[in-house]
Amino acid sequence: MKIFSATIATGLLLCSLSVFAQENYTPDEMDAIKTMGKEAIEAVASEFAAEFGNEGTNGVAILPIQRDVDSGYFTIQAENTLSNLSDETGLQVFTRADSSLANVLSEIEWNDNYVDVMDPATVQKFGRIQGADAVAFTRIDITRLGNNSFSVRANLQVQEVETAKVLWGGEALRKTQSFYTQGQIRLYLIIGGCILAVLIFLALIRRSLKKARRPR
């Protein structure tokens, strides 16, 4: 779904990443999730920059997530992606190192997972930053699929500071390859070994029967 309004002349965009479906992943699974998540972030950020950035928005602030993976990996990817896109769109990128954003963030008590749409009172706090008239939230959803692969979805939503009205929304989805757990591998090896043993046993019986039928 895309919702867009051309009413923004100058703006501050706050990108927050929220990762759901927290669980323990194998190293290979985590590497694949990070790769697909990075691609999804780049895709939705590029779409946002092309459609929203060209409307004269000045500032993009990126909010670090509370439940990121691998020491804030997705937050770093969002910061890097939007920083690179700033050369094309002219958007100014605010990161965790910017004091103006840090001051506002320090006044807000965040839950482990950001809500889909923040309440108007919270959104309006970012209006104290000069030029801020919009905030945006990016969420990362990680889902384990039935074939033991993962889907990684990046969702970006933009709200107007004054009214908290949704101005733009977009998402990108990527899927990893299938993975087998150590338990599954052991199970398949056991099943394979049992099948092989049965085949060998049947072959021996067949051989014995043939010998028994030979005339002496």
pLDDT confidence of residue 14: 54
The pTM of this model reads 0.71
User: How does pLDDT run across 142-167, given as a tens digit for each residue?
Assistant: 999 887 899 999 988 777 777 778 77
For residue 35, report the phi and psi dihedrals to the nearest 5 degrees.
Answer: -65, -45
Does the pLDDT at position 17 exceed 60? no
The token pair at 95 is 């990161």
Q: Which of 12, 22, 197 is nearest to 100 (CA)?
A: 12
Residue 162 phi/psi, 5-degree rounding, is -65, -40
Nearest to 133, CA basis, from 158, 101, 170, 106: 158
Give me the pLDDT at residue 10, please.
Answer: 40
3-state secondary structure 11-70: CEEEEECCEECCCCCCHHHHHHHHHHHHHHHHHHHHHHHHHCHHHCCCEEEEECCCCCCC
Tokens found for residue 172: 């990108």
**From CA 13, how far away is CA 22, in angstroms rounded?**
26
145, burial (CB in 10 Å: exposed 0-12, middle 13-18, buried 19+): exposed
Summarised one tens digit per residue, pLDDT across range 121-138 is 777 777 776 666 777 777
State the chain's mean pLDDT as an integer: 75
Q: Which amino acid is at 64?
A: P
In angstroms, the CA 48 to CA 44 distance is: 6
Give percent of the chain with pLDDT exceeding 70.
73
Chain-centroid distance, C-alpha 195: 41
pLDDT band for position 58 (cuts 50, 70, 90) = low
Where exactly are the structural domains of the chain? Answer: 12-175, 181-216
Q: What is the distance between the alpha carbons of residues 102 and 162, in angstroms, rounded to a whole number?
A: 20
- Fold classification of 12-175 (topology level): Rossmann fold (3.40.50)
